[in-house]
Amino acid sequence: MTPSYPVSRPRRLRRTAALRRLVAPVSVRPSALVQPLFVKEAIDEPQPVVSMPGVVQHTRDSVRKAAAEAVSAGVGGLILFGIPALKDDRGSQADAADGIVQLALADLAADLGSQTVLMADLCLDEYTSHGHCGLLTADGEVDNDATLERYASIAVAQAVAGVHVVAPSGMMDGQVAAIRSALDSAGFPDVAICAYAAKYASGFYGPFRDAAECAPQFGDRASYQQDPAARDAMREIELDIAEGADIIMIKPALAYLDVISQAAAMAGLPVAAYQVSGEYSMVEAAAANGWLDRDRVIMETLTAISRAGADIILTYWATEVAQRLS
C-alpha cells in the first residue's frame, strides 16, 4: 500500500558520489592535520622505524625536507619529537640551547616562518635515562612539582627557538599553569599551549616508544596517565582550561572517540586528537598482508575522528592524506 503522505528516503542523498560529497557534514581538511616528525641527534641519514613502516627518525637536514613537503601539501602544522645522543636522569637536553629539538625548531622557523604552525612535544621521557616523563624521587616515583620546574624551563627554551605551540604531554598536575606562567614571565605570551589533557595509559603507544626511544626502564606510566576505565577526562580537561590551555588534546583517538565527543561538546576550545603509533601500525600491517584496503581505512579513521568532534588531528599520514586531497 502506498502511503498517503510524503516518505523521507535518506538513500536519495546517497545515490551518487557527487550527492554524498555535497551533503556530507564532515570532511577531512589538510589544514586541520598535524604531521609528527622525529628528529635524532648524531645520525648521518634518516633511520627507518621498523614498527612504523614509512616513518623515520630524521636528521636535521632531512626533517627540513619532510617539513617543507608537508607544508607544500597543505598540512596545517608540524610537531617535533627529539631523540638526544645523551640522556641523563634530569633530561638535560630537553631544554639545552643546543638540544636537538631547539636546533630543529630554529631551522624550521627560518625555513618556513609563518607558513605553518610549529609545535613541539614538551615532556622528558625522550630525554631521561630512565624513560619516565619527569624527575624521580629517591623511591623511584615521579616527583610532580619538581617536574613542573623542568617543564617550565623546556617551554621557554622551545619558545626562544621559535615554537608557536608547546604541547605538554606528561600529565603532571598543574603543568599548564606552570608553563603559562613561565612563558608569560619570559616574554612569550603569544606562544600557545596544546595540553594533552586526556592522555591515557594505553597499549597503543608501543611503536612510538621505538621511534622516540623512550620506553620506561622500569615500571610504567599508569600512575600519571589516565586509566582507560576511568571517567575523569572532563575533570582533567576543565582543570587544563582553567590553567590557561589554548587547545586540549585527547590521546589516543580511535579508542576514545566518546571522550573526543564529550570534550568537543563542553570545552569551548579547539579539540585535538592524536591518531597514535599503534593505530597507524595496525593499519599498515594489515594492509601489507592484504587484509584491508589501506587508503580507504586511513580516510575512514580520520573521518571518524573528525566526526567525533576533533578540530585538529595529529596523524602520521598527514602529508600523504593532504597530497591526496589537494
Give the active site residues.
199, 251
What is the rounded CA–CA span in Å between residue 237 and residue 243? 10
Contact status, residue 177 vs residue 243, Cβ threshold 8 Å: yes
- Rounded CA gap, 154 and 84, in Å? 14
Alpha helices in the chain (DSSP H): 17-23, 60-73, 100-112, 144-161, 175-185, 206-212, 233-243, 257-266, 277-288, 294-308, 318-325
Strand partners, 199: 251
| Neighbouring-strand partners of residue 34 | 77, 314
Give dist(CA 166, CA 169) in Å, integer: 10
Q: What single string gives the DSSP state of each residue in 221-272? A: STTTSBPTT---HHHHHHHHHHHT-SEEEEESSGGGHHHHHHHHHH--S-EE
Backbone φ and ψ for 66, nearest 5 degrees, come out as -65, -40
In the block, cell 617535533 appears at 80
> For residue 166, how far is the Cα from the chain centroid?
11
Q: What residues form DSSP beta bridges with 37?
A: 80
Cell of 151: 617543564
Classified as helix, coil or strand, 136 is strand
- DSSP letter for each residue of 54-67: T-EEEPHHHHHHHH
| Cα atoms found within 13 Å of the Cα of residue 274, Cβ hemisphere only | 26
